[in-house]
Amino acid sequence: MKLGPDNASLRVKVYREGVAAKMGHDLVLEVTRWEATVDMASDAGPAIELTADPRSLEVHEATGGVAPLTDRDRAEIRKNIDRSILREAPIAFRSTGARLSGERLVIEGELTMAGRTGPFSAELDVADERATGSIPLTQSAWGIKPYRGLMGALKVRDAVEVVIDARLPPAQPPPGRSAPGTASS
């Protein structure tokens, strides 16, 4: 199964802190160019691969701050993310193991971000033909120095949240069996 912006959302929640936190905004960034492949029939359990274009992060929502974000502010945020934070490096995840435990999908694998690759794990809720989850990520673990402004008085927290919400196709019956309520041919 293929996932991407057409049938799922991939967002990053970024929070502010510091003495001047009231000046800044908490942000929800939308990843607008990404794709994932999920193979639930793999012999080793569910196999997942994801790639995301770091230049595609756009401000979806901004809360707080003393004034609303302008288009210029949004463009500046995007430029800072691309050049200073993610350093124009591709983002990729490849699972090394995944298991379904009730309505939880537990995934382990390797994440490549900001030029570094390392182990990464996540848990998603899988129910009602949806996979959802909020995955904590510590920027400094990937060599990312969280953004600072106003001479360090306004900072982005080191911990961000990656939020996924994906519609899954209806479960298919095994070959040779009918879905409930249908006749077998």
Q: What pLDDT was estimated at residue 173? A: 46
**Confidence (pLDDT) at 8:** 96
* φ, ψ at 45 (rounded to 5°): 100, 180
183, with CB counted inside 10 A (0-12, 13-18, 19+), is: exposed
Q: Say which residue the tokens 């942000």 belong to.
A: 27
The pLDDT assigned to 20 comes to 64
Residues 6+ positions from 109 with CB-CB distance below 8 Å: 48, 93, 94, 95, 96, 97, 98, 119, 120, 121
First to last CA, the chain: 26
Q: Would you list the domain boundaries of the chain?
A: 2-167
Instruction: Identify whether the C-beta of residue 57 lies closer than 8 Å to the C-beta of residue 74.
Output: no
Average pLDDT over residues 9-38: 88
Say what the pTM is: 0.83
Q: What is the pLDDT of residue 171?
A: 59
Looking at residue 90, its pLDDT comes to: 87
Q: What is the model's pLDDT at position 21?
A: 67
Q: Which residues pair with 28 in a beta bridge?
A: 13, 61
Model confidence at 146: pLDDT above 90: no
pLDDT at 60 over 80: yes
64 vs 136, more confident: 136
Structure tokens at 51: 């790639």
Percent of the chain residues topping a pLDDT of 70: 83
How do residues 108-132 score in pLDDT, each as one tens digit?
Answer: 999 999 989 999 999 999 998 899 9
Q: Give the integer Cα–Cα distance in Å for 79 and 58.
A: 10
Q: Looking at the domain that runs over 2-167, which CATH code has it been given? A: 2.40.128.110
